[in-house]
Amino acid sequence: MPRDSIFDHALVDDDDRNFEQQMRDLDVEVVKPKETETKWYKTTPRNNKVGLGEKISLSESCITIGSEAIKKIGPDSKLEIGVKEIKNIKVIAIAHSKNGFWVTKTKSNSYRVGTKALVEWLKEEGIKKGVYKLKEVKGGFIGVPEGRQK
């Protein structure tokens, strides 16, 4: 049946065979791509070492308190922050006080204390940015520098 225009249906349009059947009838070998095995990313256990734990961290804006450290200090505490020198090492002194900074809980469920002004004062007193191990002492706590301080 001849086509009068390019819009007329071709004869092959009436073919109800699928692609594989048409290729088989034409003696054309159809090679399907091999299905590859899915490679999955293997997660590694973190051994519950998420966050600071029993440590505190001095950042540019505040002191962040680890989840285990906040259990010792108390989440609803008011803290006084100071600087003490022990054996030529400057440490952060922390004590409970009626007139201190409130410990606040962040949106990400971590705890922090202090202000940028406090951080600036700590820097002026020789305390460097970084992670500090929290130790309980008579009258409160101290933050002892851990590793390299910035």
Domain tally, the chain? 1
CA distance 99 to 120: 19
Point out the least confidently predicted range of 30-39, 108-117, 133-142. Answer: 30-39
Q: Which domain holds residue 115?
A: 55-145
Point out the least confidently predicted range of 3-12, 49-58, 86-95, 135-144. Answer: 3-12
For residue 97, is it within any domain?
A: yes
Q: What stretches of 2-128 show up as alpha helix (H) in DSSP?
A: 19-25, 67-73, 116-124
Beta bridge partners of 95: 80
For residue 99, is it within any domain?
A: yes
CA angle, 147 as apex, 142 and 150 as ends, to 5°?
Answer: 90
Average pLDDT along the chain: 84
For residue 121, is it within any domain?
A: yes
For residue 9, is it within any domain?
A: no
For residue 20, is it within any domain?
A: no
